[in-house]
Amino acid sequence: MNNIENYNEKIFEDIKHIDEEGNEYWYARELMVILEYKRWDKFRNVVNDAMVACANSNNIIDDHFSQVGKMINLAKGAKRKVLEYKLSRYACYLIVLNADPNKEVVALGKTYFAVQTRRM
């Protein structure tokens, strides 16, 4: 996926989840893949920067970056619990603002989350 034509706002809608109360959220690891980050440790730095921006805007971090555990499959049927974040739309917006600006999908994400966040 190297072309902006390969992307549209549907890619962000496709990974959106809705909880039992009708609140929308995204998982950080799913967003990481869409934003073309290959390694969690690199993307975690972006998430951390977004959390700082959230706090500096006088918002409560836990309201937008809810830490949850996630089980992943390993070799030979083993499983391991890893850190995951349940993200609000605002958290996603802050993440794309802090993501690598050289990635075309980041530009699309900025537009998508900015427009959608304002609507909310």
Taking only the tens place, the pLDDT of each residue in 65-81 is 999 977 777 777 788 77
Contacts 24+ apart (CB under 8 A), 82-86: 82/29, 82/40, 84/27, 84/28, 84/29, 85/27, 85/28, 85/47, 86/25, 86/26, 86/27, 86/28
- Tally of domains in the chain: 1
Q: Domain range spanning residue 86?
A: 4-119
Taking only the tens place, the pLDDT of each residue in 4-48 is 444 567 899 999 999 999 999 999 999 999 999 999 999 999 999
pLDDT of residue 84: 94
Q: Evaluate if residue 116 carries a pLDDT over 80.
A: no
Determine the 3-state secondary structure of 84 from DSSP: strand
pTM of the model: 0.84
- Tell me phi and psi for residue 93, to 5 degrees: -60, -45
The token pair that represents 80 in the structure block: 């391991």
The token pair that represents 45 in the structure block: 């730095």
What is the rounded average pLDDT of the residues 35-63?
96
| Residue 61 banded pLDDT, cuts 50, 70, 90 | very high
Q: Evaluate if residue 55 carries a pLDDT over 80.
A: yes
